[in-house]
Structure 1
Amino acid sequence: MMSGQFLAIGEAMVELAPDGNGALRQGFAGDTLNAAYYARAALPAAWQVSYFTQLGLDAMSDAMLAFMAQKQIGTDYIGRHASRMPGLYMVHLNHGERSFSYWRSHSAARLLAEDKAALRQAIEASKIIIFSGITLAILESDGADNLLSVLEETRNTDKIIAFDPNIRPRLWADQDHMRAQLIRGAKVSNLVLPSFDDEASHFGDLTIADTIDRYRSYGLNRIIVKNGADDIEGYFDGQPLTVKATTVPQIIDTTGAGDSFNGSFLGHFAHTGDAVTSAKFASQIAAKTIQHYGALVD
């Protein structure tokens, strides 16, 4: 694909992250926004990268829009809500491994899928779409049903619909509902990018082969399983795939590791069509990401 639109759907948040000097640095991030950022870096200039969400009318929302524009991420599909604001999260680090505190229960992004016609317009205009389990988890009322039904309409076209389950149990009312919705997300996609530790914890997979087989049982033929510092394994267009993960001398902050892999893989694959070289490239970018503070690395 020489050109097209890459569309990321989800929640863009205010990030407070350690700066390495005992202070917190304010930035903007969020799993699918991070993927869009890294896809923009990997895609040819002829590609448009756009974000689909809801923000508020407040100063922080204005700053977030300005940030996206600066990073060449299109904002035409971002709605503004009169009484809501972006969510916020804080990164806590323990020897490089991150945990988070969140303030997002009333964020504008929870309403991003209320307008089904706007969703359809953005998705139909795009060649690559990425969403995540977090996208599904935050949506209020009929939002998840709206998003999944529009994606299902386009699943069997030449579009790439990529889904990262990105399993965050605290965002869901209960485990059974979470698993059911994540399976629905996978079934409207044609490429999945799960992380093995999440799948093992919440679906009981004992091996990566179990994870691959389970996603194949949902009708998927493109599966790339991330596994931390271990090999990336998958099944892609009928062929098994194994790629050695890039070695990292020192982990500073794992925030955004999987997201940087996702965006870099999709961006590289868009213009090469080669899953193996794209996974190698994405592993290298993820390795760079975790050697810096915060989710977005120059």
Structure 2
Amino acid sequence: MKRFVAIGECMMELSPQGDLWQMNVAGDTFNTAWYARALLGPDWEVGYQTALGLDGFSDRVLDLMQAAGIRPLVTRHPSRSIGLYAIHLHQGERSFSYWRSQSAARTLADDAATLASGLAGADAIHLSGITLAILPPEGRDRLLGLLQAAPGQVVFDPNLRLKLWEDPQTAREVMTRAASIADIVLPSFDDEATLFGDATPKVTLDRYLGLGASEVLVKNGGGQILARVGAESLALDLPRVTPLDTTGAGDSFNAGYLAARLAGQGAEAAIRAGHDLAARVVRHAGALMPMEDIRA
């Protein structure tokens, strides 16, 4: 069986439902694992590597993974729990408030043997800038060292949350190091313009290609998507939709694209698959659509 492993942080999500709040589970790389599990066939195992606490909210996350068919690659921390975030919406665009300083996921790379065991035999490993931002410096070094030696494809979404980083310079250095290890890089242009000062998506594309990635796709908030896959260059203008909630848009795009590529589809077909899934997700409240709706 082939293996897709995502690494990062699960959080409790509070999403607005009129005057009330609905509680769900989400997190950028977990969202990608969720959609990948719905899209990849039974010949693929999808695992999620993180750390949880011993409390009821952590148990809820573990139960959700198992019910969805996602293999938990989980350590349990005796005194930490999971993070919480709330979604704020304005005309479909989202912003977030976070409570995550004591998240158990910050310890997910503390033990090298446990980390290596979860990654062993993975055909594709997915992580994000958030995965790296929540880790202490020694955890980042440990994780990136293991990824550098991993035989499978490494997929990196820089996904910038600048407040999680010590400072912008550290973010630039660690993101650049991670991208130099990755085979596939899936940046968003607005993040790259913020952190690196990129003037155009082409600048972003060229910078990541120059770091050695064989496959780079620049998402652009509903605008033209630029990609280079091997020797193939693409610039696609795809239909825009009016969003209800953009939470999980990039994460679901990543999953749709990667699932198609891992199934052997070409780059353009995979980009269209990612776009089609993301277009459905942004018309749904919260980060995760029910599995049966994804497959419908």
Common fold: TM-score over 0.5? yes
Question: Does 2:176 match 1:180?
Answer: no
Q: What is the aligned partner in structure 2 of residue 16 from structure 1?
A: 14
Please give the secondary structure, in 1, of the residue aligned with 2:71: coil
* 1:98-117 to 2 correspondences below 5 Å: 98-117=94-113
* 1:76-115 to 2 correspondences below 5 Å: 77-115=73-111
Letter in 2 for 1:31: D
Letter in 2 for 1:164: D
Q: What is the aligned partner in structure 2 of residue 69 from structure 1?
A: 66
- Work out the CA distance in 2 between the residues paired with 1:246 and 1:257: 14
Of all paired residues, the percent bearing the same amino acid is 44
Q: Deviations over 1:35-58 (max 9, x none)?
A: 001111110122111100000000
Q: Deviations over 1:224-252 (max 9, x none)?
A: 1111111211111121122332321x211
Letter in 2 for 1:85: S
1:98 CA displacement: 0.4
Contact 1:244–1:280 (CA<8 Å) still a contact in 2? no
Q: What is the aligned partner in structure 2 of residue 171 from structure 1?
A: 164
1:22 CA displacement: 2.1
Q: Which runs of 5+ in 1 are unaligned?
A: none
Q: Deviations over 1:106-161 (max 9, x none)?
A: 1100000011122222222211110000000001251100000000112xx4x221
Q: What is the aligned partner in structure 2 of residue 153 from structure 1?
A: 149
1:272 CA displacement: 2.0
Count residues with an aligned counterpart: 290
Q: Which runs of 5+ in 2 are unaligned?
A: 291-296
Q: Deviations over 1:242-289 (max 9, x none)?
A: 2332321x2111101000011111111111242211110000000111
* 1:1-298 to 2 correspondences below 5 Å: 3-19=1-17, 21-75=18-72, 77-154=73-150, 157=151, 159-248=152-241, 250-298=242-290
Please give the secondary structure, in 2, of the residue aligned with 1:272: coil
| Superposition RMSD in Å | 1.1
- Work out the CA distance in 1 between the residues paired with 2:225 and 2:37: 23
With structure 2 as the length reference, what TM-score do the two structures score? 0.95
Q: Deviations over 1:79-126 (max 9, x none)?
A: 101000001100000111100000001110000001112222222221
Contact 1:35–1:263 (CA<8 Å) still a contact in 2? yes
Please give the secondary structure, in 1, of the residue aligned with 2:239: coil
Q: What is the aligned partner in structure 1 of residue 294 from structure 2?
A: none
Contact 1:246–1:284 (CA<8 Å) still a contact in 2? no
- Work out the CA distance in 2 between the residues paired with 1:228 and 1:187: 24
With structure 1 as the length reference, what TM-score do the two structures score? 0.95
